[in-house]
Amino acid sequence: MTRPLPPPPATGFSAPAKKSLGQHFLADRHYIDRIVQAVDPKPGQRLVEIGPGQGAITLPLLRRHGELTVIEFDRDLIAPLTDAAAPIGPLTIIHRDVLSVDFTELAAGTPIRLVGNLPYNISSPILFHALDHAGAIADMHFMLQKEVVDRMAAAPGSKVYGRLSVMLQAWCEVTSLFVVPPGAFRPPPKVDSAVARLVPRPAADVGIDDRKRFADVVRAAFGQRRKTLRNALNGVCDARHFEAAGVRAEARAEQLEVADFIRLANVVVD
Ligand code: SAM
């Protein structure tokens, strides 16, 4: 059930932060509210939070939505989270490494909405893991390092447009929502953070024939981003492929649209 945002309550409980698990706990009510508002859960939707930590986002989301599933790796947080959630509503805790969670199985036919202030040390693996299950995910609202969000949402021609931009934008619509300063966290990270929304495209709209081949072409193209595609993709694509895909072999990877990469990868046959 969806309810209005509650007044500012305690953001959970307190536990020492573990650097190895990328623990930077969100402590600023303003940004917590903005994340909950951005997610804006509707009745009947299935919300899954990655890394609930001390419950900063979890408890307000649970108050608002009435139920929630969370995936947390740190065993020291499981009992306090359970206790903090008990008076509010049903919280399902999956005590696992998120990279070992099969989102498709978890969704069981009803696409899930993922939320998370991600552990920055494994944010890229989490993004690629989510892409592997894009069909089971309705959308994602993730806090990441701002520099990573800039790369995720970058357009061709930008200095930070690269492999991450192309891989994510091929499967998802990516929007950078707002920046969060280090002072909003305990302990504060060294860099700015930002919240991004990712909405997976319907499978039929993606148009990638072979995921691995697409990933290989994008990796090779940006592996030597200062070279022309003819040189960077030497051994992967030849003149016929460039011509069939309508892509200039003298261009550099950073000049190509995502759709160009998709056409190019689709005409390359092993
Ligand atoms: N959501 C909380 C907040 O905003 O204050 C905590 C965010 S903290 C940046 C990242 C959280 O992810 C921590 O709770 C950490 O224990 C958890 N985490 C780290 N690695 C994980 C993994 N492999 N699987 C699941 N959770 C993980």
Quick: pLDDT tens for 68-123: 999 999 999 999 999 999 999 999 999 999 999 999 999 999 999 999 999 999 99
pLDDT on residue 9: 43
State yes or no: pLDDT of 221 exceeds 50.
Answer: yes
- pTM score above 0.90: yes
| CA distance linking residue 185 with residue 57, whole number of Å | 12
State yes or no: pLDDT of 2 exceeds 50.
Answer: no
Q: Which amino acid is at 154?
A: A
State yes or no: pLDDT of 5 exceeds 80.
Answer: no
Ligand 1: residue of 74, 100, 124, 126 to mutate (most ligand atoms within 8 A of CB) is 74
Q: Quick one: pLDDT band at residue 11, thresholds 50, 70, 90? A: low
Render pLDDT for 200-211 as a digit per residue (tens, 0 to 9). Answer: 999 889 999 999
Task: For residue 243, say whether it is annotated as part of any ligand binding site.
Answer: no
The minimum-distance atom of ligand 1 relative to the CA of 32 is 4
The minimum-distance atom of ligand 1 relative to the CA of 49 is 1
Please report, in angstroms and rounded to a whole number, the separation of the first and last CA atoms in the chain. 51
Ligand 1: residue of 73, 95, 123 to mutate (most ligand atoms within 8 A of CB) is 73
Q: In this structure, which CATH number among 1.10.520.10, 3.60.70.12, 3.40.50.1100, 3.40.50.150 belongs to the domain 19-205?
A: 3.40.50.150
| CA distance linking residue 102 with residue 70, whole number of Å | 14
Task: For residue 49, say whether it is annotated as part of any ligand binding site.
Answer: no
Ligand 1 binding residues, C-beta < 6 A = 21-26, 51-54, 56-57, 71-74, 97-99, 117, 119, 122
pLDDT on residue 12: 63
Q: Which residues belong to CATH 1.10.8.100 in the chain?
A: 211-267
The minimum-distance atom of ligand 1 relative to the CA of 21 is 19
pLDDT on residue 208: 95
Cα of 77 from ligand 1 centre, angstroms: 10
Structurally, what CATH architecture does the domain formed by 211-267 represent?
Orthogonal Bundle (1.10)
Render pLDDT for 25-76 as a digit per residue (tens, 0 to 9). Answer: 999 999 999 999 999 999 999 999 999 999 999 999 999 999 999 999 999 9
CA distances (Å), 75 to each of 21, 24, 30, 98, 153, in order? 11, 17, 28, 13, 34
Q: Which residues belong to CATH 3.40.50.150 in the chain?
A: 19-205
pLDDT on residue 269: 76
User: In the predicted model, what is the mean pLDDT of residues 134-157?
Assistant: 98
The minimum-distance atom of ligand 1 relative to the CA of 24 is 9
Which residue's CA is the nearest one to ligand 1's atom 11? 51
Q: Is the ipTM of this complex over 0.90?
A: yes
Task: For residue 97, say whether it is annotated as part of any ligand binding site.
Answer: yes
Which residue's CA is the nearest one to ligand 1's atom 5? 25
